[in-house]
Structure formats: C-alpha cells, structure tokens
Structure 1
Amino acid sequence: MSELIYAGSLKKLEDVGAKVIKGGSHAIAVFVHEKQVYAVDNRCPHMGFPLHTGSLCDGILTCHWHHARFDIKSGGTLDPWADDIPTYPVHIKEDKVWVHPVPYNKVTIEKLRKRLREGLEQNLSLVIAKSVVGLMEAGFPANEIAKVGIDFGTIHHQSGWGSGLTILTAMTNVLTKLDKTGQILALFQGLVHVARESSGMGSRFLLGSLPVTDEMNTQSFEQLSEWYRHCVEVRDPQGAERVLLTTIELDFTNEQIADMMMTAITDHFYVNTGHTLDFHNKAFEILEQIGFEHRPYVLSSLLPGLGHVSRSEESHSWQSPVDLVKPLIEAFKKLPDILANASSIEETEVDEAPLVEQILSDDALKTVNMMLDALKNGVSPARLAQLVALAAAERISRFHVQNDFRDWITVLHTFTHAHALHESLRRSTTPELTRAVFHGAMSVYQDRFLNLPSARRPEPKDVEAEPQNPSELLEMMNKQQQVAESARWVVNYLARGGNISELFNTLGHALLREDAEFHSFQMFEAAMVEHEHWEIEDSELASHAQETLIIAVTRYLAGHAPTSREMPHIARIAMRLHRGEKLFEDE
C-alpha cells in the first residue's frame, strides 16, 4: 500500500464528484461517475487545462477550455487534435479509495512516433510540436525524426518534392549549429511545412521498374542513362520514373544514379531558376542521413516537377543583349578533354580572388574563358563551384535595399543553386555536372544590376571593446528595416572576437522564431554549410569569404523580419506543456 496514494473515502468522493490529489510531480483528478471511480492526469493533454473543472457526462470527460473530449475509462480522446489522457489504476478497500500513480497508458517512443505521423496526416501543428519535443527530450535521434517526415512527404504529395521537404532537409543539416531549443524548432518547422504542403495533395504510387533480366549488366546502365536523359528532355516524368526505379532495382551505386539524374537536369541552363538542382541535391543529402533504402520514393519524388520546368537558355535575358548561350555551348564541348587532362597535369597556382571579382564583373565572356583556364590549371570543378557560391553570396552582402523587395529572392536563387552545385560536385564530378558551374556564374552576371547601387560593406569599430551580447542582434531584428544595422553589428562582433558558435545559434533563432518563408531557410542553411567549408583554410580569401557569408545571411534574415511568429508560439506551448507549466495562468 506504500506505493498507493490515498484519495479519500468513497462516500466523500461521491459527495464532491471530483477531487485532485498529488501524484508525485503531477496532479491526478479522481472522479466518481455512475458508481465507478476513475483517476486521470489532471492536465488536459491538449493545452494543460485542469480537467477536474471539466464536465463528466455519459462516460465522456470534456475539458472546458477547448472542449476536448475523453473516454473516462480508457483516456482515449475523441478529437484528433488532442492526445489521449493518462489513466491510473484505482483500488477501493473498506470504503477507502487509493490510486496507483503509475499510468496504464505510458508515453513511449513508439507512441510519440505514431502521434507524429498522425500530426502530419491531419496537418496539426501542435500535435507535431508535442511529438517532436517528446522525442527529442527522450533522446530519440534527430535524423529518425526527420525520417518520419521524409517518408510521409515523399509519399503523400502527388506533385513530388517541394519546399517542405527542402526545408526539413536543410534544417536537419544545420542541427549541429543550434542549441537544444533551436534543434526542436528546426525539426518542428520543417515537419510542419511538409504537413502543410502535403495536405489534400493525394498520395503517389510508384510505377514500378522495368522487368529485370539476368542479361542486364553494367553495360545496361549506359543505355538506361540515355533513356532517362531522353525522358527528361521530352518532359516525360512517368517514363523517367520507370527507368530510375530500374536502376535502383539493379542496385547501381548512388554515385551512378546521381550522375544520371544530374546530367539530365543540367542538359538545360539554370533549370527552374536553380530550384531543380537544389531539390536534387537535397534529396541525395537526406538519403545520407536516413538510409539509401529510401531511394525509390525519395528520388522518384523529384520527377513530377520535371514536366513543367523553365529552361533559361530559352529566355530573352540569356540571349540579349549579350548572347550567353552559344559561348557556353562552345565551352561545354571542351569540358570532357579539360577534365580528363586535369588529373595528369601539375596544379598551377591560381589567384582565386581576381577570379571571384571577374565572376562579379559585367564581362560575361571573359568570365567564361577565365573559368575554363582555371579548370585547365587544375582548379577542381568543386572548388570552382565554391568560388561561384562566394560570388553569389557577395551579391547578397552588397544587395541594396533600394531594390524591389522581391529581388532579394533573385540573388538568393543564384546563391542556393551555386551551393547545391558545390555540394553535388563534392560527391561526384562529371563534365555534364560541371556545366552547371558556368550556369551559376552566368546567373551571378545576370544579377549584377541588383548591386547598382551597391550596399557598403561595414567597417568594424571599437575592435578593442568586448564582443556584444548576441541577444542584441535578436532585439535589433525585432524591428523592420534593420538590414544595414544588423550587418554592422555582426562585423563588429566578429572583429571583437565574438564566439562564432554563439553567433550561428543566434542567427538560427533569428530564423526559427519567425514564420519564415521558404527562401529564408535555404539562405541560412547554405550560408552555414559554405562557411564551414571555408573554415578549414587559413588564407585572406577564406577569411573574407567567411565574413561575406555571415554578412549575407544576416542581411537577408534582417530584411525578412519580423513576422507574425505563429509557428514558434506553437512550439513554445509544446515545450511548456512538456515541462509541466500552467499555460492558463497569468505569467
């Protein structure tokens, strides 16, 4: 009996109808209903309102705050937006009522995973938030949480891979830059975007591979690659899917499949303003985290969108007043020989800073020739892509707020395309994929007018002073039109020796406390990852690049804040509920 909690005499309980007792760190509500005694957690699992003040009728306990309804016997809820309520064993002996404080229906990892899936299916943000908080606090791996969202989003969205899955992948990539609260917010935001994007969009059913025969061998991959390339060319996503699934069925390597898919989308210039290449890169990135057994649904989800993408070589701006198409086509003919010979030559020292400035210049044809020369001199395609990404980040760091606000997204597209290409070339290098480095450089060229006038790069002041408190930056971004001020703040912070990890965490919270739109998530992740690549170098260019990336992401986030902040408010509710706080009382 020492483990039991005395709730009172049965007669007194019958007189009062309901009573609250202490069950260790939580309160338990004891009810007498239709001559039976029931014990449940006194906190409504929806938002924590005390259930002893609710109504109990016909076996249904109703919370008076949001009218969530529960079966008093099992604790099960009738409302999908509420959770089941814990129920406790009741013992009656000699008119005395005792309650065992260990619930029948304990919360387990499997229940939280199931609840997360239900939250995605019903598009219920608070359910998703509570599931993420519970799983993270239980030590469940973050990539396993992301996997639930990826599995759901790649199946239950007929239009295939989109912004939601991209946000979830991007946020999974930067979890190491964030504290525990930031990690919860990052996963929650990604999962909610997946749920919203998938809501009402129908499910995808795989078409299946072509019949696989014993005669198929390595030679068949070349044939399948050509078929895939042709299907993408003629905008036939169904044919492309069957070919793709055949390569997976034949267990071709991820590098082979990536090369096949990337070749098809780089046959045309800067496809869909860079989104298509970025989505492909994100799909392969998330597979590295959740397992390549998910290839069929993840990779095939990229195909529905290929039927209606834009191809930049068909646009007027790529042909006039300067024809960029013909010179690029001529340059691309040289790439196979250049890359084949590059491995056999001794690398020549290339001054990379002037090359970055040339990419930013208004002489596109000279840029193409300098990039070809860099490859001939042993600069790897991945390194060249990294330099293009730096030039694209320079455009954002110099973007003047006198531009149309929507043009932030123009320079953002170029940067995220260049970053995705850099990551893709780090995995595998082909002449076909290298073409996209030139696509990216020409997009940087196209964006040149957005730096006229050019925003001034801030100069640090009072460098001997102590670094500022990062909370100052968050406070600054609580106001609109703080782009230049925020950039000056981070430059001073860096010059004074501020902790870079704390700064990244602060910038992460500046993003995650907002109802941010798709491109802001892209910007933060791309800047964080590109910065990490430059950290391993000790050079003047590397230092300049790191500062440029920080200025760029700070200015972009400041230019898109503040917002209404509904999403982080929901996450805070979930975190407070998990801690047992009372939401319904004044703070």
Structure 2
Amino acid sequence: MNNDRFEVATVAELEQEGMKVLTADGQPIVVFASNGGFHAVEDRCPHMGFPLSKGTVKDGILTCHWHQARFDLCSGCSFDRFADDTPVFDTIVDKGIVYVYSQPRRAPDAAYFSQGLVRGMEQNSGFTIARSLVMLRRLEIDWSTIIRQVAQFASRNGNSFGTGSTILTIVTNLQPRLTEQTMLFAMFRAVREIAGQAMNAAPRRPVGPLTAGDHSMALLKRWYRHWVQSRHGDAAERVLLTALHRQVLETGIDKAIVDLIAGAATDRIYDSGGHLLDNVNKVMELLDHVGWEQAEATYPLLTDVMASGRGAEESSHWHHPIDIVTPLRDVEARLPELLAAGAGKTWQDDDSLLPTLLGDDPLAIIAVLEDALIAGATPLQLARVVCYAAGLRLARFGLSNEVGDWFGPQHAFITANAMHGILQRCTTPDIARGVFHNAIAVYMDRFLNIPPAALPGEAGGLDHLSTDANELLAAMLDALDRKDRTELLAELVSRYVELGHPFDALVDRLMYATVREDVNFHYFQVLEAAVSQVADQPHTPHAAHILAGIARNLSAICPTARASLQLITVAARLSKGERVHEG
C-alpha cells in the first residue's frame, strides 16, 4: 500500500486552530499542533472508538474525555492500562504546508498484535486482549498459534492450572464445532480469565528434576504418591519432572505417566470435589493440542492442588449414616482380581445398572459395579454408564432446590467425564477405582432429584415445537431471555436432537448461549462434558437426556447481566470501522 502524503493545512492555520481532521486513504486522522511540532494520530480512541479530535492536548499529552484515556502524542503510547496504544502518522512541513502520511509509522502486523496480546495479558487489559484477538484473526493467524501462545503465557505466569486454563482447554476442544464469532467470544473469556489469575498469582519458584540416578517408573510413582499424600508440593513436583523428563521428552506420552499422575489423583476419594481429576484430564487434553514438549512447563501447575487437596474420606457424610469409605477401600484392594476375572469376556450396556446407580443404597452401587467387572465390563464402559447417570441428575434436577445446589451434580458430571477421558489413555486399577468414587458422588446428590423433574416430552411430547432447525436454534436464545422459562431450552434442545439436525450447529448455539452470560467456569465444563459424551451418537435418547440436563442447568441462572462480552463486541465493531460511540 502506498504511503502517500496528504495536505493538512498551512503551518499558520494549524498553529492557530490547534488541530485538523482529515481522511487519508479511508482512515480518519487528526493532526495536532503541540510543543512546537505537529503530531498525527488515528482519530479513534483505541479504547472505545471515540474521536480523539474531541479530546484535549496539554504538554504533549492527549486525553480522550470519554473514559479519560491518556496518550503520549509523539509515540501514541497509552499511559493507562485499559486503553491500547494508538497508531501515529508521520508529518512533514514543505514550503509552509503541513502534510501527513497515510500509513501509520508502524504497520500493525501480526507481530504487533501478538505482542499486544501478551501485553494485554500481562496488564490484564481487557480491551487490549480483545483488540489483539480480533486483529490476529483478521490477519488470518490460525487459532492453534493463538492458543499455543496463550497456553505458554499461562504456564509461565500462573502458579496453578486454574479456571482460565480449564476454559482455554474446553474452547480448544470445541473449536472445530464453533463458528468464528462464537470461537472469538469464547477465546476472549478464556484469555481474560487467565490474565486475571496471572495478575493475582504469586511468582512460581520452579524446581528441577532429579539430576542423577537410574530411577525406575515404579519407584518414581511410589515417591510421587508419597509426597502428594504428605502434602510436600516441592518434592512431588521434582519427582514428577524427573518422570516427565525421562518418559515424555525421550519417548512421548506414555501410559506410565498417565498412571503416575491420575493414579495419585485418585489416592484421595473424589479429591477436591472432583476438580483435581478434571484438572489432570484437562492438562493432558491441552498438551495434545499445544504439544507435549510443553509438559515440563505445564504439568507442575497441578502441584499445588494435587498436594493440598482434600478427599471425600475427610468429610463426615461419606462416613455417616453409612460408612462408604471402608467398602470403597476394600473394593480398591480387590480391583486387580476383579479386572482379571472379567478379562476376555464381553459385556454390553443395556441400562440395567441405572436404577441401582440412581438409587439410595451405596453398598448396592459398589456391588453392582463389581459384578459388572466380573461379567466383562471394562472400566471405560462403566465410566460412561456412571457419566450418563450423572447427566440424568442434571436432567431431573428438581427446581424446588436452591440455585447453588446445582454445583453438586455439576461436579459429579464433570468428574465422571474426566474419568472417562483418562481411562481412554490408561486403565490401571489405580485409575479405575475412580469409577467407584464417581458413582458414589452421583449417589450423594440423590435428594436433589426428589421429586424428579420430568424429562422433555415425557409428559406430553414435543410436537408443539417447530421442526425447522434454524427456528429451533433461534428460539433457544430467546428462551434464555426470561427467568420463567427454565424448561423451554431443554425442550427445544431435545426436539432438535430427536429430529436429527446438525450437531455442530447445536454445540455452537449452546456455547454462544453460555459465553454471553456472566457465568463461572462450571457451565463451560458441563457443556464440554456433554459434547464429549454424546458426540459419537448425538441423536440418541441418551444424548437428548444429557443435553437437556446441561440446558436446564444453564436456564436456571439466565438471563444474567451479560456484561462479559461488551469489550470483545466493541473491539470487533471497531475493527470494521464502526462508530461505536454513536450507538
């Protein structure tokens, strides 16, 4: 593009008037006379697009009075974190005439906005993050590159695998099913969460691997579990790094690594309300996307929660009125022989376990899972059955419960899905015991289904709803605009599923519906868990029930203030040249 110069005014005119506005190659530019020189910037505040020509200049500082963002007039750099730098244009005086060049001093290329994304995360500047994401995509930078950059920032600047990294992994997993707009909005939520956590995180003091010795994986596993149980985070991290350096960097991801970490995560029963197991699964999923060469930087983020977690065995309601912990520990000890007894047999899920899994006898739940293993059921098969049972807890959640009561079934469903994901990588007894833990977690939420809510269409069918896919998708968003429509979204989703409409469009709509609300990360977790569970058979009754459950979960708290997406929406509009300040 040519860097042509455009006439602004005579020196005398500009010095007298103080400022001139013009359009050069389609972009608005304002030229100021200040401190004996002439300085040009884009006539749009990089914060919200307000004309900088309506601002004031004093001692070389330009102030935009809409939100009081201030800029160095010479460099365009912002003095305030909430506003990005503004482009500057060179000026020249020729024969008493002031000219401005049509191209900014520094072309805002991919490197510029990549640096802006990092700066936005470092400063927790929402608008800088939003603008950088929008412009990187306009410059056709692929999502995988952006995701890798954000993940690396999180591992360098965080002290744990937090909610932001969890949302980032969820968004990355679902990205192939999302439209550009939904992906942009979801990515902004993830990056903003990571930036906020990094801003408040104490600096990590990483330790290195053990530098000498031929440590077997069996020994490292024993040491790791010992230090985790002893809550000695530094020692656990050092052992983990030794195992990672030996296995991952030399041979790639190995089942022994999965067994070491996930096995330790199930030493405590339903550790941290299930969050630990989901974190373990999410770390592995994220590394699948960004590359396992990042393992040594990413896995240590699990150390704090791994070493400081509390197991359900420390909670009184797992001991009273029925002691469930002792039977669980007993079956854990027998798992190797149970798995051996079922080896070579074939087991088919026919939903016959569900009445017991959703019943009120925890000992019967343990027994029926034992019998299934002996009959040839694999831990992976049972994990999926337990996950479906957990999904039914959401689908049949009674609305007489408090909104906060959703957290229990949310955690059970999320953790059951995480166990299913981990078992696809490794099925050792130390990991498989988590299936029993999760089944009892589902049992613990039984009173939240009294009385059980009806499944969509169970009472009178769904034929009163449209058969058109686009009409159903549009109605889903409308259903979340009022507080008294908790069941409508679930009915619309079930109708869409039973008619066999495109699954990806439904996932995109549910993600958009989630990301536009001011909700915490649990709502992203349950959505992604549902997609993971039904993706291979998205039009079955099981799929409809699971998706109805997460739809009811979201509907129960909608609508919220919906302030989360304001910045990314404004950034997208400004990138198109819209005059946001005019409405």
TM-score (ref. length: structure 1): 0.92
What are the equivalent positions in structure 2 for 1:218-233 lying under 5 Å apart? 220-233=216-229
Q: Aligned ranges for residues 100-249 of structure 1 at < 5 Å?
A: 100-158=101-159, 160-213=160-213, 216=214, 220-249=216-245
Return 114-123 or 509-518, whichever deviates more: 114-123
Distance apart, 1:504 and its partner CA: 2.0
Deviation at 1:238, TM superposition (A): 1.4
For residues 493-531 of structure 1, the C-alpha deviation after alignment (integer angstroms, 9 at most, x for no partner) is 334554433322221111111111121121111112212
The answer for the alignment partner of 1:38 in structure 2 is: 39
The alignment partner of 1:143 has SS state of helix
Secondary structure of residue in 1 paired with 2:98: strand
Given that 1:155 and 1:205 are in contact with CA atoms closer than 8 Å, whether structure 2 keeps it comes out as: no
The alpha-carbon distance between structure 1 residues 241 and 25, as it changes in their structure 2 partners (threshold 3 A), is same
Tell me the secondary structure at the aligned position of residue 581 of structure 1. Answer: coil
Moved more, 179-188 or 99-108: 99-108
Superposed CA offset, 1:156-202 (max 9, x none):
344x2222221222222222232111111111111111222232321
Aligned to 1:347: 346
- 8 Å Cα contact 1:175/1:186 also seen in 2: no
**2: distance between equivalents of 1:206 and 1:308?**
17
Query: Offset at 1:239?
Result: 1.0
CA distance in 2, matches of 1:144, 1:380: 38
Contact 1:212/1:246 (<8 A) preserved: no
Same amino acid, percent of matched pairs: 34
Cα deviation 1:453-504 (Å, max 9, x = unaligned): 0001121332795333422221221111422222223223334554433322
1:276 positional shift: 0.8
Shift of 1:151: 2.9
Query: Which residue of 2 is the match for residue 47 of structure 1?
Result: 48
1:573 to 563, 570, 574: 570
Deviation at 1:127, TM superposition (A): 1.8
Shift of 1:357: 3.2
Is the contact between residue 212 and residue 250 of structure 1 (CA under 8 Å) also seen in structure 2? Answer: no
- Conserved in 2, the CA contact under 8 Å of 1:357 and 1:391? no
CA positional deviation for 1:408: 0.4
> Residue in 2 aligned with 1:555?
552
Root-mean-square deviation over aligned CA pairs: 2.2
Shift in CA distance, 79/151, structure 1 to aligned 2, threshold 3 Å: same
Query: Aligned letter for 2:217?
Result: F
* Structure 1 letter corresponding to 2:97: K
Pair 212,352 (structure 1): closer, same or farther in 2 beyond 3 Å: farther
Between the two proteins, the alignment pairs up a number of residues equal to 573
Summarize deviations over 1:321-378 as a string: whole Å, max 9, x none: 33322332232233223434655x1424x24311233311223333323322333333
Kept in 2: contact 1:465–1:496 (CA 8 A) = no
**What are the superposed Cα offsets for residues 105-145 of structure 1, whole Å, 9 maximum, x if unpaired?**
12122222222222222222222222222222222232332
Letter in 2 for 1:554: A
Give, in whole Å, the separation in 2 of the partners of 1:209 and 1:497.
52
Q: What's the CA shift for 1:572?
A: 1.0
Task: Name the counterpart of 2:313.
Answer: 313
Aligned residue for 1:507, secondary structure, equals: helix
Q: Distance in 2 between matches of 1:151 and 1:170?
A: 16
Letter in 2 for 1:361: G
Instruction: Give, as a single letter, the amino acid of the residue that structure 1 aligns with 2:216.
Output: S
Q: CA deviation at 1:582?
A: 1.2
The answer (yes or no) to whether the contact 2:281–2:422 under 8 Å persists in 1 is: yes
Runs of 5+ unmatched residues, structure 2? none
In structure 2, the residue matched to 1:522 is 525
Measured after TM superposition, the shift of residue 73 of structure 1 is 2.3
Q: Distance in 1 between matches of 2:375 and 2:162?
A: 38
Q: Does 1:262 align with 2:253?
A: no
Answer yes or no: is 1:273 the counterpart of 2:273: yes
CA displacement at 1:47 relative to structure 2: 1.5
Task: Name the SS of the counterpart of 2:39 in structure 1.
Answer: strand
| Cα distance between partner residues in 1 of 2:580 and 2:465 | 45
- 1:499-518 correspondence to structure 2 within 5 Å: 499-518=502-521
Deviation sequence 1:418-443 (CA, Å, 0-9, x none): 00111111122211100001111111
User: Equivalents in 2 of 1:418, 1:50: separation in Å?
Assistant: 52
1:335 is matched with 335
SS in 2 for 1:301: helix
Counterpart CA distance in 2 for 1:558 and 1:83 is 36
Q: Which amino acid aligns with 2:555?
A: A
Separation (CA, whole Å) in 1 of partners of 2:441 and 2:70: 56
For residues 465 and 482 of structure 2, the distance between their equivalents in structure 1, rounded to whole angstroms, comes to 28
Question: CA offsets per residue over residues 275-304 of structure 1, 9 Å max, x none?
Answer: 111111111111111122222231111111
Q: Decide whether aligned partners of structure 1 residues 146 and 465 sit closer, same or farther in structure 2, where only a CA change above 3 A counts.
A: closer
Worse overlay, 235-244 or 251-260: 251-260
Whether contact under 8 Å (2:259, 2:426) holds in the other structure is yes
Question: Are 1:451 and 2:449 an aligned pair?
Answer: yes
SS at match of 1:300: helix
The correspondence of residues 361-372 of structure 1 with structure 2, limited to 5 A, is 361-372=359-370
Aligned residue number for residue 398 of structure 2: 400
Compute the displacement of 1:415 (Å): 0.3
Instruction: Give the Cα–Cα distance (whole angstroms) in 2 for the partners of residues 258 and 346 of structure 1.
Output: 26
Hey, what's the Cα distance between the residues in 2 that align with 1:480 and 1:17?
54
Cα drift, residue 88 of structure 1: 1.9
Residues in 2 aligned to 1:66 and 1:464: alpha-carbon distance in whole angstroms? 47
